[in-house]
Structure 1
Amino acid sequence: MTGVRLFPGLAVCAVLALGAGAARADSAGMSIELNALDATDDGACQMSFLIENTHSQDITQAVFQAVLFDASGRVDRLTLFDFGALPTGRPRVRQFVVPGLDCAALSRVLFNGAETCAGADAAACEAGLTLRSRVETTEVTG
């Protein structure tokens, strides 16, 4: 499992809404799907993401700034998700355990943008980015 780094006080940048189950992009880009939320025994929430790089180059490290919203639409926290290396054309699953987060109260995940995008064009992590959620109660936007 990959660690979660928390950074309180960062500003929210932009919002582009994509509904649950949005179709996968056919052009070069990257897709991130919130695939599952699972409560842990210690009161944390394990978030599982399916991510795919469809660019022509591998990405050696992709770190995204994310904002997690509670059921009332208030910002719960800002964090960085380090998706690691993303080879082209090979889907990857990454899991993040977020301490003190109630999975049932998570209503939205906002991806502000890429904090780090290494190994490919610097814009590769945001160019052609498609976001979606398989979790009925949680919207993913960017």
Structure 2
Amino acid sequence: MNKISMAAAAMIAGLTLATGAAAQDGGPGAAVTIELNAVKSGDAACTLTFLVTNGHPARIDKAVYETVLFDGAGQVDRLTLFDFGTLPAGRPRVRQFSVAGVTCDGLSRVLINGAHTCTAPGLADTACEAGLTLKTRTDIEVIG
């Protein structure tokens, strides 16, 4: 192997190690995305449907988010926990939560207040919160 080939091989090996370490630590681009995809009013309840994707290189075994629901006047209606369960790496999952005593028309905003529980062996302790991306496809605002 000539000097140029050896230098190129060393550089590629270094980049591979650095990229692997960044991915393991939840590096750039590695985050959880939560999208409020749909809402449906039912028998004195609102069903919130979320599309959630774990962008990390490893599975999250348990993700529970403290969630605050705001009424149409912008006042806190309730604080609750939404258990998104196991989130495989790089794969979307749909989760539904039925909230009794509220209609979807009565909600103006959903605040993801933070991760109550985040069990993710092999990832940083902040894997469920660092870089968290929030979206909505509804008239209800989602913030965090």
TM-score interval w.r.t. the shorter chain? 0.7 to 0.9
Per-residue CA deviation, residues 31-78 of structure 1 (Å, 9 max, x unaligned), is 0000011011x2101000000000111100000001000010000000
Distance 2:113 2:47 in 1: 20
- Higher RCO (CA < 8 A, seq sep 6+): 1
Specify which of 114, 123, 136 is matched with residue 133 of structure 1. 136
Distance 1:77 1:122 in 2: 27
Partner of 1:30: 32
TM-score, L = length of structure 1: 0.79
Partner of 1:117: 118
Q: Give % identity.
A: 57
Count matched residues. 115
How far off its partner does 1:121 sit?
A: 2.4
- Structure 1, unmatched stretches of 5+, are 1-25
Distance 1:101 1:53 in 2: 29
Name the structure with the higher helix share.
Answer: 2
TM-score, L = length of structure 2: 0.78
Distance 2:102 2:124 in 1: 34
- Structure 2, unmatched stretches of 5+, are 1-27
Partner of 1:48: 49
